[in-house]
């Protein structure tokens, strides 16, 4: 059973629909005990990073830490990926999970002397895909996925793929059983479904 965490800001309906399409059994929950017992965990996310404070308030942050320490597979989507880092300048007072080092930052106002539009909305490619990535198995370099975000995660040793917009940022992060995607796989056509299928089949 995949626990899909509801923190009142996630894009739950589309994610759950895509998981059901792939044959996965899901349970939308705010219960930390359900999270602890799940075989897999998904944290969808849209909106402001401050909304993730509810995860700590409900005891879900500690439940996720326990679960992933025990080997439970975790997938964060969009803000769900950003939450895996130490925090974000969007809400400096709100701590992330801290599983990966670094903080998420807003896209710069300009890049190479030109104005950079923010949020970054639309289709963009995944580049530099790590050959050992289980989440991106069957996804070719240059595969297009759908983004909509104004903050981005830094490049770290666990970065499994990068995307270029105002410089390179982490499109996918993956280390052992903990994974995250900045794009929306549920809106990313064939490539997005392949990513979710890989996660479901792990």
Active site residues: 78, 184, 186
How far is residue 26's CA from residue 48's CA, in Å, rounded to a whole number? 25
CA-closest candidate to residue 12, choices 79, 107, 94: 79
How far does the chain reach from its first CA to its final CA, in angstroms? 13
C-alpha 121, offset from chain centre: 16
Helix ranges (H only) for the chain are 12-21, 32-37, 53-57, 60-69, 79-82, 189-201
Please work out, in degrees rounded to the nearest 5, the angle formed at the alpha carbon of residue 164 by the alpha carbons of 93 and 171. Answer: 55
Q: 64: Cβ–Cβ under 8 A, 6 or more apart, which residues? A: 35, 41, 43, 55, 74, 97
Query: Residue 13's CB: how many other CB atoms inside 10 A?
Result: 11
């Amino acid at each position: 059973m995949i626990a899909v965490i509801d923190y009142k800001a996630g894009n739950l309906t589309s994610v759950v629909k895509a998981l059901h399409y792939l044959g996965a059994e899901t349970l939308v929950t705010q219960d930390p005990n359900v999270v602890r017992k799940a075989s897999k965990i998904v944290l969808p996310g849209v909106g402001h990073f401050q909304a993730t404070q509810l995860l700590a308030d409900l005891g879900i942050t500690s439940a996720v830490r326990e679960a992933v320490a025990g080997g439970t597979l975790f997938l964060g989507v969009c803000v769900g990926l950003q939450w895996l880092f130490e925090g974000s300048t969007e809400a400096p007072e709100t701590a992330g999970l801290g599983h990966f080092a670094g903080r998420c930052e807003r896209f710069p106002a300009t890049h190479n002397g030109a104005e950079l539009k923010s949020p970054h909305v639309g289709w963009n490619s995944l580049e530099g895909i790590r050959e050992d990535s289980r989440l991106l198995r069957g996804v070719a370099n240059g595969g297009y996925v759908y983004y909509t975000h104004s903050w981005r995660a830094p490049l770290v040793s666990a970065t499994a793929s990068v995307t270029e917009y105002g410089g390179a940022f982490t499109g996918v992060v993956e280390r052992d059983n903990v994974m995250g995607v900045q794009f929306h796989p549920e809106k990313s056509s064939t490539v997005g479904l392949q990513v979710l299928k890989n996660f479901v089949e792990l």
